[in-house]
Structure 1
Amino acid sequence: MKTSVASLLFATVATRTSAFAPASRNAFSRNMSANSVPLANGAMSFDRVCREWRCKYEGDKATSESLEAISKLVDEYLPEVKKASSDVTVNRLICGGCLDFKLMTTVPLDDFGPWEESGFAPEAEFLEKLKAIEGVSQVETQTITNMII
Structure 2
Amino acid sequence: MALLLLPAATGYTLSSMRPPVSTRVASPAMMAEMANGKMQFANVAREWRCKWTDDGGGKASSAALVEIADLVEEYLPTLKALEGAVVNRAVCGGCLDFKIATTVPLDTFGPWEEAGHPPEAEFIAKLKKIDGVSQVETQTMTNQVL
Q: Give the TM bin, normalised by the shorter chain.
A: 0.7 to 0.9
RMSD: 1.3
The CA deviation string for residues 28-58 of structure 1, in whole angstroms up to 9 with x for no partner, is: xxxx951211111221111100000000001
Specify every segment of 5 or more residues in structure 2 that has no aligned partner in the other structure, as ranges. Answer: 1-25
Number of aligned residue pairs: give it: 117
Superposition pairs for residues 56-71 of structure 1, below 5 Å? 56-59=51-54, 60-71=58-69
Which of residues 48, 52, 70 in structure 1 aligns to 2:47?
52
Q: What's the CA shift for 1:148? A: 1.2
User: Which runs of 5 or more structure 1 residues have no equivalent in the other structure?
Assistant: 1-31
Cα separation, 2, equivalents of 1:97 and 1:57: 11
Runs of 4+ in 1 over 2 A off after TM superposition: none
Q: Larger radius of gyration, structure 1 or 2?
A: 1
**Secondary structure of the residue that 1:70 maps to in structure 2?**
helix
TM-score of the superposed pair, with normalisation by structure 2: 0.77
Question: What is the CA-CA distance between 1:84 and the residue it aligns to?
Answer: 2.4
Taking structure 1 as the reference length, the TM-score comes to 0.75
Aligned position for 1:108: 105
Task: Name the % identity.
Answer: 59
Matches within 5 A, 1:1-149: 34=28, 35-59=30-54, 60-85=58-83, 87-149=84-146
Q: How many angstroms apart in 2 are the aligned matches of 1:64 and 1:141? A: 23
| Range moving further from structure 2, 108-117 or 37-46 | 37-46
